[in-house]
Amino acid sequence: MNGKLKIAGIAAGVVLLIGATTYVYTAPYAGNQGIQRTPGVRIGGTDTPAPNDFSTVNEVGTNLLMKQSGFPPFVIYLSFVGTPEGVITATRPDGGYWARRVRDGKTDGWLRIGDARYAMRATEILGDARLPMLELYSAKTGLPMDRAVGGPDPLREWEVFLWTPR
């Protein structure tokens, strides 16, 4: 009986390992898959030196992929706007996971814009300093400043993060 349990345990472990490996290599990430709502674990792209002016990346589109360092690894799509200083991202003020991680000191990450992957560091922008950044974000994404977007909060209330090269 012990031998059968041992074989069953090994088989279960192999199945779990195959399942985890399959997820890592098939989970959504940027390719030609379009926008995915489910986080993935691979960001893809090519390591690229940061440009002197990130406003040059605005022609690539309105979405990027973000991966924060640390565990658990996950990749999500965000809307963005490039500025001379860095890349602006924003999120609803709903206690979202990636924003909490930045506040907890996990500020390093990677942004993939097109096929270029940049090593970046996030800084939360607070108070009225957010408003000019949100105006830029609104102009690029088409999201209105004073109407609710994806929830009860107008864009004007969203949390803003500036990503700069590290």
Q: Let me know if domain 46-165 sits in CATH 3.20.20.210.
A: no
Kindly state the average pLDDT of the residues 38-56: 87
Q: For the chain, which residues make up each domain, given as ranges?
A: 46-165
Residues 6+ apart with CB under 8 A from 88: 80, 81, 82, 133, 136, 137, 160, 161, 162, 163
The predicted-structure confidence for 65-123, as pLDDT tens digits, reads as follows: 999 998 888 888 899 999 999 999 999 998 888 999 999 999 999 999 999 999 999 99
pTM: 0.77
